Chains A and B, each alone.
Chain A
Amino acid sequence: MQTEFLFIAASTALHRLHPVVKVLGLGILFVPALAFNHPAWMAVVLALSVLLLLVARGAPNLRRLGWFLVILFVMSTLMWSLFLADLQEPHVLLELGAVTISRESVLYGLAMGCRIASLLLFGLTFITTTRPEDFTFALRKLGLPATLSVALSLSFRLLPSFLATVQTVKDAQRARGLDLDSGGLLTRLRRYLSLAAPVFGYALRQADNLSRALEARGLMAGAKRVELREFPVTRADAVAFLLVLGLAAASVWLRVEGFGELLPRI
């Protein structure tokens, strides 16, 4: 079970960027990925996303999720090839009953495969370089209300603690002779379901205690919340921000000029 966050502690230029710049930058980077639908142009965007991840020292994450990306790419290509409708003058390659495969649908499928892979790779670069608490910090700076940001941090924090509870209960059952990982699929499924009652019971009990503890430390005290941490804005932040902004603007301009367009849709 993969339960570790994908953040990789390193000190690359991307890691050092201000969290707000990272969040905004991620949003802006989605623009080039959504701007084109020609496979050749999308391949360039995909190459850019891989490069960015490697610069962030994200190669281990690329290895971890690589096969997942390949499946996504293949399935996206396949599905659009099969289900793309509304084509003006398709060069039909193959007709299978109600399904038609054309040159356009295959090319569009390839472009969409590149698109989904590059979107995920931009996202992965973000996750590789940003701790969950820095993400929350950025959202807070971008105007997320204080209680909502506390709830968000709390969720990130409760996740491992919930998984730890599952592990504790599993251990406790194993210590008394229950082999969770043996037997047929159905037996195993039933055993896992028997975890539900103690795990949820434990989680709810914790919720009761947690709300007392939060109030006892003044969660709703009514004062304007001040954050302990601060991140200085550097020249690198300005440069990075302008760079992605320029890239996004250039992609939109190119598309408007008719470059990178296979079909008249997104």
Chain B
Amino acid sequence: MRDVFVMWRNTRMVVLVALSAAIYAAILIPFKIIPIVPGFTELRPGNAVPIVCGLLFGPAAAWGCAIGNLIADFFGTIGPGSFFGMIGNFLFAYVPYRVWVMLKGFRPPSGSWKEVPLLVLAIFMGSAACAVVIGSGVELLGLVPYVILTSIITINNTVVGIVLGIPLLILMYPRARRWNLTFSQVMREDDIRGTRLTPIAGLLIFVACTIGVSAALDMRGHIADWAMKLGILDMQPVIGEDGKALPVSLLIPAEMSLLQLGLWCSLAILVGSFLMAKVGLGRRPAAAEAEQTTDEASTGGLVVENVSFAYPDGGEAALRGITFTQSAGQMRFLMGRTSAGKSTLCLCLNGVIPQMQSGDFSGSVQVGGLDTSQWSVDELSRVVGLVFQDFETQLFCSDVELEVAFGLENRGVPRELMRERVDYWIDVLGLRHLVGRDPSTLSGGEKQRLALAAVMAAEPPVVVLDEPTTDLDPAGRAEVMDAVGQLADDGRTVVVATNESAEAADADGLLVLQAGVLAYEGAPASLLQDIQASAALGLRPDPLAELAAAVGLAQVTQNVEQAVEMLRERSARLDEKAFVSAQGSEQTQSARAPAATLQNVSYSYGGLPALDEVSVDVCQGEFVGILGPNGSGKTTLCKLVTGLLAPDSGTVAVNGRDVSEMRASELAAQIGYLYQNPDSQIFADTVFDEVAFGPRNLGRTTARVRELVTEALAITELTGYEDSDPFSLTRGERQRVALAAVLACEPSIIVFDEPTTGLDVPQQEAMMQLLKRLQGQGRTVIVVTHHTEMALRYAERLVLLRGGHVLADGPTREVVADHETFAAAGQCLSPLVAISQELFGVPLLSADEFERYVHLG
């Protein structure tokens, strides 16, 4: 049983325990209401899960399925029977895995045809072990007769295990391998290996299972009895004291009750399971020593020397010869295009590379005085905190406060100090009003703030943030960056990876990566004020530098006031004629037929109102931007328009028809929805199948489907990728796959939820230009975004939301002109708008407009 204990030292195994438990419970719960024996045994397709997880994740699945069963009991069936349920489900996952390892060695099954006979044996043994233990335990409590439960569980589990389990195994095996999660990838062979006793233990389990189950199926001799009556079986009946024939059993001595038999079999199964692997706890890694040394090295900066790294997929090196040093108290920004290596470098700084990520690493990283190749990520976490780019997966507690406290709890920080720090960081990041909420119910931006608070509360001497503000509204972004700046002022070493040039402006230094190489190291201003140099590295230049270039100022100004002053000195004037005539052409575009209409729509999530009496009309061919602070109801609005949510009250109509009366296929042909995270909507194994999914659902012919796919891939510049696995592509490419999949349905309206998140500047521009082209083809485009600058440049109309209400709705220029309302919707005023309004009384939305309409005297 060593494997069952040793696995708790491995984080991946702990996660797999929770994952198996969650999957198992999730599939068990809905079937609690469909019992086979009404009231007792549910029809449980979920019972394929312990088999599959057991065979893939080994001991983690055994614990996980025991816990999963307990959690499912939290939905109404908790009782003393839960105890036997836990043991039974533990064995249900553990026995098949042990039997498999005993027969085939240290590797999980892949579900190939040749493996099927052995799999069937393993599945039967797991099912029977589970059934015998639960059956006898539950009769021991006097709840259900042994014969009933044992036979039903065995039959159900074996059948489900074979019919659903094996296909599920075939499906999950490559995915589990890909993410390095199978037991042979996570655990050491030495901890799993069997002993000389293993075959005997296996035989013991097999015999006990067979006897226990056949006794139950035998219905206490009734089957034999009937068989004799029918003449199939010929046996001498046993005569009881009263002279009557006793029911004959083939397997049970007449004087032993079924319960006794079941309990003996259970005991044999448990002893057998115990003896399947080595006993003992194995060697423990020396942790005490580590604690002492890491405590000493509590200050210090970063020394990165000649670091190179290549992922195991055999592609180009992600990092090549990176060298830099950074001292305590400095804040540096890390910029560059999406595949330039920013995230990879961040992972190097906290030791995930080389400790947890396989690949080819060379060079050295010293963080807070510790060499990352010598210390585990856990130990390094004392000196370095990393906020991962994918913030959703780093929240795992059930309450906002507990989330912030998690790192402190692990380090054993005294409770009073812990309370102080938790309160402090909750206030700093503006999370006070969310205390008591479950993190999974928060909006994207709220989750991102929470992820920041959770890392910062540990107050490590080095803080690394990988794109910490992607999902925040502009006002929130500024607040969070202030808090980050505070960290550096407190003497911490801070590294922030970002795409936002505006954030980087006041850093102590800027590092820019290009294709894995450090392409720039120096002051932010000297790069960002150089338009050509910034563009070459894929960065957005300082808008004031763009302004200077657009109107022909020789010198870049430092702020809005200076710019206004300088333009006044140079007697800048607006070319009103050109400006007004351009405005006129913008105006004439309104007064078209309605495309999407929301009328007095309200929606709430379990009592939390998200939208309140919202009315918006979008006309055909319009390009509408929806802006608003985090949690203002933007995504809810998208889901209502696309029919994914049904309003609590009010009506939603698309092209004049009520959405609630339309079928999914009708709706999909008229309105498309691009998710915020493309990974949420990609589910096929090849790009072609992904894009073809929609048109196939709409009943298009094979030839037409091919045509539509080809067309959609051409528009999104993905031709040639038809056979690629979508998840092997970059984020920008995946975003385009998701868009192609929507376009292939030929909708006349497309709703985009944050289409530029996670993209670098050139990709963002390309995406927005693509949307503009779609509008040019006559489609209606609705874009939800936090990129104010993009919305100003591309959308002709803006809707501002806040707290579930429409704050403003009108032509972009008019909406922007009202500074107060604009700021109330969490937006920051772009310097260009501020300058033009100050000078000319009208907002100019981009440097291009300055170039077109502003002339120096």
Contacts and interface: CB of A to CB of B under 8 A. Distances in A.
A72 B39 contact: yes
A158 interface: yes
Nearest to A145: B8
A175 B642 contact: yes
Contacts, number: 350
Contact of A120 (B79, B142, B144, B406): B79
Interface stretch (B17-25, B104-112, B646-654, B798-806): B17-25
Contacts of B23: 162, 200, 203
Contacts of B424: none
A185 interface: no
A257 interface: no
B732 to A, nearest CB: 18
Interface in A109-132: 112, 115-116, 119-120, 122-124, 126-127, 131-132
B145 interface: yes
Contacts of B643: 174
Interface stretch (B64-72, B561-569, B815-823): B64-72
Interface in B728-751: 741-742, 745
Contact of B418 (A84, A211, A226): A226
A204 B379 contact: no
Interface string B122-165: 00000000000000000011111101100000000000000000
Interface stretch (A1-9, A12-20, A233-241, A247-255): A1-9
Residue picked from B21, B385, B643, most chain A C-beta under 10 Å: B21
A206 interface: yes
Contact of B33 (A68, A166, A205, A225): A68
B19 A203 contact: yes
Given A30-B80, A200-B171, A206-B393, A178 B664 contact: yes
A221 B75 CA distance: 34
B14 A2 contact: no
A2 B34 CA distance: 12
Contact of B171 (A83, A161, A197): A197
Contacts of B80: 30, 34, 119
Given A151-B67, A177-B665, A228 B405 contact: yes
Interface in A171-227: 171-180, 182, 196-198, 200-227
Nearest to A152: B67
B5 to A, nearest CB: 10
A152 to B, nearest CB: 6
Helix, strand, loop or mixed for chain A's interface? Answer: helix
A155 B458 CA distance: 24
A213 B225 contact: no
A258 interface: no
Interface residues of A, number: 106
Nearest to A163: B26
A95 interface: no
A154 B142 contact: no
A159 B386 contact: no
A97 B19 CA distance: 49
Interface residues of B, number: 134
B78 A123 contact: yes
Residue picked from B17, B288, B745, most chain A C-beta under 10 Å: B17
Contacts of B37: 75, 79
A50 to B, nearest CB: 15
Interface string B69-112: 00101111111111000000000000000000000000000000
Contacts of B385: 216-217
Contacts of A225: 409-410, 412
Residue picked from A98, A207, A209, most chain B C-beta under 10 Å: A207
B440 A160 contact: yes
A37 B141 CA distance: 11
Given A79-B144, A120-B76, A218 B407 contact: yes
A266 B137 CA distance: 12
A266 B39 contact: no
B398 A208 contact: no
Interface in A121-170: 122-124, 126-127, 131-133, 145, 147-148, 150-164, 166, 168-169
B840 interface: no
A74 interface: yes
Interface in B655-695: 663-665, 667-669, 672-673, 675, 679-683, 685, 693-694
A164 B440 contact: yes
B773 to A, nearest CB: 21
A216 B377 contact: yes
A204 B64 CA distance: 15
A128 to B, nearest CB: 11
B396 A210 contact: yes
Given A74-B39, A179-B664, A222-B378, A112 B142 contact: yes
A37 B79 contact: no
A209 B257 CA distance: 52
Contact of A221 (B17, B381, B673): B381
A201 B173 CA distance: 10
B147 A112 contact: no
Given A153-B398, A208-B180, A178 B25 contact: no
B704 interface: no
Contacts of B16: 207
B412 A214 contact: no
B175 interface: yes
A218 B382 contact: yes
Given A154-B14, A172-B675, A177-B668, 4 more contacts: A2-B33, A175-B668, A204-B176, A216-B377
11 contacts: A76-B39, A120-B77, A151-B64, A164-B440, A171-B639, A176-B672, A179-B664, A196-B168, A223-B291, A225-B412, A229-B402
Nearest first, the 8 closest Cβ-Cβ pairs linking A and B are A198-B683, A177-B668, A158-B22, A123-B78, A213-B394, A155-B21, A177-B697, A154-B18
Interface of A: 1-6, 26, 30, 34, 37, 65, 68, 71-76, 79-80, 83-86, 98, 112, 115-116, 119-120, 122-124, 126-127, 131-133, 145, 147-148, 150-164, 166, 168-169, 171-180, 182, 196-198, 200-230, 265-266
